[in-house]
Structure 1
């Protein structure tokens, strides 16, 4: 059995992948949340009681130390703890004072954001003894490509080394954009030129921020500032300067935004749309729309999800005359859209269901109950004469509140 502690933006899709891979999973989160197919524990100690493997995916070193301290009384002899947060080698070493001597420890932070976590394409940087790494390798491969870096703490050190290059590079590019504007250089043309250089991928990544559009939150600015602080070292002069830039952006209230929010902060160009604005969302994990609507809109911390139906990427009906199959597909699409914004069904405030045949409500309700396992949200269910495509039996829309950890 696997215990997964921490269900933030990365934790939810990672825990879901374990369930989908057939693992027996128990989860815990400080703010109670559920993952379909996994049990939910009331405390860290309860979550780890029967676990052979414990995975932590938390925000920072104090959170990891605190949660594993709470879990320690429930850990069995021989349990393996895999710490996947970004906390640095020093904090990994300090965990030995928190964990019982009979409990093994591997540090395995990841490179990648929410979409790779959902798709199983993260890069896992694993450090630990050869025996401990062998014990957990197959589980870690559920999340993506595993690179065994070295002994205990090596994975954590590698993660900070990578971030020490990736984060300052974005800050440097933000300063370059600021210089270009001051010099009268067209920033769109600048990005086009950089697109033919070794910085091509980074230039494309930051283009929305340069153009004044609020980027999808993939790597929080506040987390980036935390990572650079953990990597602080006398030789890290450029990273130190970038960290100071990010600290100032955090102080300006941008900690919960994507890292690319540093561009308007530094360049003084168009600001990202404020939280009070409306963002149109079309996650890549859900088949594209016909262009006449978005799968969801976000206004502040409210998420409004369009009616989802059982159509595949080519527009074909999934599960002809099969209410169970169509309901499963609809709930899966809804869960992917929620996860894109750091939500689960626990965060849903209202769900509205349209059925073409109310006599088949029990079939749909059985599926819905498997996905919504906590206290149910407000709900409306109505029968309609038909949906927009022949063969469709059910359509479901919902509203949710984005939790503080995801909203920043």
Structure 2
């Protein structure tokens, strides 16, 4: 028996293909009344196709009591290799794990023409996965998740670039159809044709495209970082549930808006829902207080100022990298310490990360922070590079 967890745009047609192929399938989606544990009870194969790492972690945690020894979990969402490693630690050793995200959208999911990017031992599930399309076994656990993000770091920014290309042409009197015709003769022709008429039906949502680039963030990814910022802005403007091709409509509005764009990253511990990790307003990034807790809300390095400081600066580094920035771009840093006598330990860690001219900063002692056991919290104001304005007729 196969349990399929997730019945969204991709999950529903994929589950139908399994049923049509003669497999006995139990499906689960939020709000149906059945628990994930009940849905996976007795299943030999458990497939997850959910929105993001947090959703996968939540659902599989709830499913743990129903997972039988010897079962295999095939994680087909786009969550990245780090989240795959966390799932391996979450699942019992008696339960196998394969990561197998897919390339393709709703149409290929229904037609069985997806490309399945598999990491881990697929020998026991390859036949089932082939129902969805072509299976590419890529190596050890996590290889599929890494490959998916690598591919999306090329495909998604290319579509943002083409959206801005069409907007540039319109602003400079270039005939849109002629421009599309010229692009059709280039390697970007197929993507340009897709953007020519934004899809009425959402096949790959703008929100999911932004999420994929957030997961794939890495220091030095300037092109992907710029595309990510444009998508985050479009999402904040209310286009999140539209198809990614709606980015062409958004780009026609000209240069990026200076409105506040909330940023919540999959690469750092989640917030409690009362604040965002950061907010970008034009060329300025405001980073909420960063403290030393993990994805489960537990304190990291309890009792150690050095350990908590190290964790805080690692998280700050991920937030900065997500926006194409580094520690040298910090304009202002404010640090709250519960014990000023431990500032030397904090300072030693800080000096390893901030190596150039230091930013403006304030360090204050407070009696306590929002969670007992936290020893410090750091918030930031970061100056981001502004895009160069395009001068009509100029170079």
After superposing on structure 2, the runs of 4+ consecutive aligned residues of structure 1 that deviate more than 3 Å are: none
Correspondence for 1:169: 158
Correspondence for 1:57: 49
Once residues 178 and 110 of structure 1 are traced to their aligned partners in structure 2, the CA distance between those partners, rounded to angstroms, is 31
Using the TM superposition, give the Cα deviation of residue 114 of structure 1 relative to its aligned residue in structure 2, in angstroms: 0.9
Using the TM superposition, give the Cα deviation of residue 215 of structure 1 relative to its aligned residue in structure 2, in angstroms: 3.2
Where do 5+ consecutive residues of structure 1 fail to align?
Answer: 33-40, 270-408
Correspondence for 2:144: 155
Where do 5+ consecutive residues of structure 2 fail to align?
Answer: 255-395
Give the secondary structure class of the aligned counterpart of 2:73.
strand
Once residues 235 and 156 of structure 2 are traced to their aligned partners in structure 1, the CA distance between those partners, rounded to angstroms, is 15
Calculate the TM-score normalised by the size of structure 2. 0.63
Correspondence for 1:45: 37
Correspondence for 1:2: 2
1:220–1:259 Cα contact (<8 Å) kept:
yes
Once residues 188 and 63 of structure 1 are traced to their aligned partners in structure 2, the CA distance between those partners, rounded to angstroms, is 42
Q: How does 1:7-406 map to 2 (within 5 A)?
A: 7-32=7-32, 42-128=34-120, 132-209=121-198, 215-268=200-253
Once residues 262 and 115 of structure 1 are traced to their aligned partners in structure 2, the CA distance between those partners, rounded to angstroms, is 20
Higher RCO (CA < 8 A, seq sep 6+): 1
Deviation by residue 1:190-240 (Cα, 9 ceiling, x = unmatched): 01110111111111111103xxxx532111000000000000001311001
Once residues 235 and 20 of structure 1 are traced to their aligned partners in structure 2, the CA distance between those partners, rounded to angstroms, is 45
Correspondence for 1:349: none
Deviation by residue 1:236-261 (Cα, 9 ceiling, x = unmatched): 11001100000000000000000011
Once residues 149 and 192 of structure 1 are traced to their aligned partners in structure 2, the CA distance between those partners, rounded to angstroms, is 37
Correspondence for 2:383: none
Using the TM superposition, give the Cα deviation of residue 125 of structure 1 relative to its aligned residue in structure 2, in angstroms: 0.2
CA RMSD of aligned residues (A): 1.1
Deviation by residue 1:85-139 (Cα, 9 ceiling, x = unmatched): 00000000001222112111000000111111111110000000xxx31100000
Give the secondary structure class of the aligned counterpart of 1:54.
strand
2:9–2:203 Cα contact (<8 Å) kept:
no
Give the secondary structure class of the aligned counterpart of 1:219.
coil
Give the secondary structure class of the aligned counterpart of 1:50.
coil
What is the number of equivalent residue pairs in this alignment?
254
Once residues 224 and 31 of structure 2 are traced to their aligned partners in structure 1, the CA distance between those partners, rounded to angstroms, is 33
Once residues 73 and 101 of structure 2 are traced to their aligned partners in structure 1, the CA distance between those partners, rounded to angstroms, is 13
Calculate the TM-score normalised by the size of structure 1. 0.61
1:88–1:231 Cα contact (<8 Å) kept:
yes
1:215–1:260 Cα contact (<8 Å) kept:
no
Once residues 216 and 71 of structure 1 are traced to their aligned partners in structure 2, the CA distance between those partners, rounded to angstroms, is 32
Once residues 171 and 23 of structure 2 are traced to their aligned partners in structure 1, the CA distance between those partners, rounded to angstroms, is 55
1:178–1:266 Cα contact (<8 Å) kept:
yes
